[in-house]
Amino acid sequence: MTDDIMTPEMRDARYVMHPLTDARANLQSGPLIIDRGEGIHVYDLAGNRYIEAMAGLWSVGLGFSEPRLVAAATRQMERLPYYHPFSQKGHGPMVDLAERLVTMAPVPMSKAFFTNSGSEANDTVIKMLWYRANALGQTQRKKIISRQRAYHGITIAAASLTGIPANHTGFDLPLPGFLHLTAPHYRRFARPGESEEDFATRLAAELEELILREGPETIAAFFGEPVMGAGGVIVPPRTYWEKIQAILERYEILLVADEVICGFGRTGRMFGCETYGIRPDVMVLSKQLSSSYLPISAILLNGRMFEPIADLTHTIGTFGHGFTGGGHPVAAAVAVETLRIIDERDLVARAAEAGAWMQERLATLADHRLVDEVRGVGLMAAVELTPARLADPAAWPTGALGRRAAQLLQQQGVISRAMGDTLAFCPPMIIDREGIDAIVAALRTTLDLCLKEATP
């Protein structure tokens, strides 16, 4: 069959290898091809409409086809379509964005460094941490602490930070020197009778034990998402971040807050750090920074992080790291306009209000036979399913129920994402109560259909 009579789905199956996809399955059936988007909705080639309840990949905060972002990109393309930040060069949009981010940070920051994705940003932070340690003569201080079920990206070092087995299996990851602690998922990992505060105390003690076992002088930093996203929307237990930070401060270990998903309103505050009282040395930003209209990410460094690095660059004569597209003028211009819109439309407060409604409505599903837990904060939520109450739980291996539910939910006109048996919800921040109600109604129908299928 020639390409001119093949469907786009068939051509995709022939030519495209997809991320986070069973490649053999795509060869057999091809993907869902999305043709256009508007507001909270996307449309496939047949014209079917879906609520994008994951905002793409946790990221299209302003929804699809926002005309001001299209106009910002067009203006910048016409003026300066590309320039780079290498060798002491710069351009206006990058300067504007850096100033905006440094001044709006929830704790004092010194500089912004630009990359293209959260993965690149986290890889860059790791290199910066090693560089800083060498600058200070602390050549042993190279180990990094993360957590099981964390997601920090898929490049080699960022994937080593990530604590999800599917991102390690087959890749010979994680690399040595990346250490993982228990995920702060209270319902899953708390001991019988253990309160949230006691659970947090135990996790802080686990952190301290790890530091002492490895040697405080060997630990460079702790990486953490304020709320763990791709690991299942894991909301930290009460007092968790307070107790973790106290341990890090005791041993002078830097804290890196991965705000790639949480940043710019997703938790109901501008940053997840504000929601949980986190005082990081480094912040990693992406996704909603440009509403994902163009690839861009930013690293914010405080003086404690930046000054030793600056000293070593002066000794060497350069900082031997950077990306061709880092701080791209068109992406930076779109990011600046995104932040303006968030401010002008008061979208953080709107997300807090809509998020409270979403949490309330999803909670009405908690007593469904297939639901194990409903959890979330702001406009981030997860509904974790379980086959344990079915007649034949063994017929549903881990992940099978979540995959089937996601398929059925898509047939109901809502795109979610199955993470194992957990369905995630992270709609655009412009969503209203009507949109949220439509998601919850479709999910209830989906759960009933799943139950019917699974019941002999």
HSE (CB half, 13 Å, CA atoms) of 337?
Answer: 22
Task: Provide the token pair at 159.
Answer: 């994937």
Distance of CA 259 to the CA centre of its chain: 7
Helix (H, G, I), strand (E, B) or coil at 41: strand
Q: What is the separation, in whole angstroms, between the first and last Cα of the chain?
A: 42
Domains and CATH numbers, the chain: 32-65+346-454 (3.90.1150.10), 68-344 (3.40.640.10)
Characterize the bridge pairing of strands 34-38 and 41-44: antiparallel
Q: What was the pLDDT predicted at 456?
A: 72
pLDDT beyond 70 at 446: yes
Residues 398, 440 contacting (CB under 8 angstroms): no
Question: How far is residue 72 from each of residues 67, 81, 294, measured CA to CA in Å?
Answer: 9, 12, 11
In this predicted model, which residue has the larger pLDDT, 388 or 245? 245
- Ramachandran assignment for 300, one of left (phi > 0), alpha (psi -120 to 50 degrees), beta (any other): beta
Q: What was the pLDDT predicted at 394?
A: 86
Query: What is the Cα–Cα distance from 136 to 37, expressed in whole angstroms?
Result: 50
Helix ranges (DSSP H) in 217-328: 240-250, 272-276, 303-316
Q: What is the pTM assigned to this prediction?
A: 0.96
pLDDT beyond 90 at 348: yes
Task: Provide the token pair at 124.
Answer: 């860059």
> In the chain, how long is the greatest CA-to-CA distance?
72
Q: Residue 385 forms beta bridges with which residues?
A: 371
Q: Residue 418 forms beta bridges with which residues?
A: 423
pLDDT beyond 90 at 280: yes
105, containing H or E segment: none
Query: What is the Cα–Cα distance from 41 to 8, expressed in whole angstroms?
Result: 21
| Neighbour tally for 366: CB within 10 Å | 12
Spell 415-438 as b/e; 16+ CB within 10 A means b: bbbbbbbbbbbbbbbbbeeebbeb
Q: Is the dihedral of CA 64, 68, 71, 75 positive or negative?
A: negative
> Tens digit of pLDDT for each residue in 174-233?
999 999 999 999 999 999 999 999 999 999 999 999 999 999 999 999 999 999 999 999
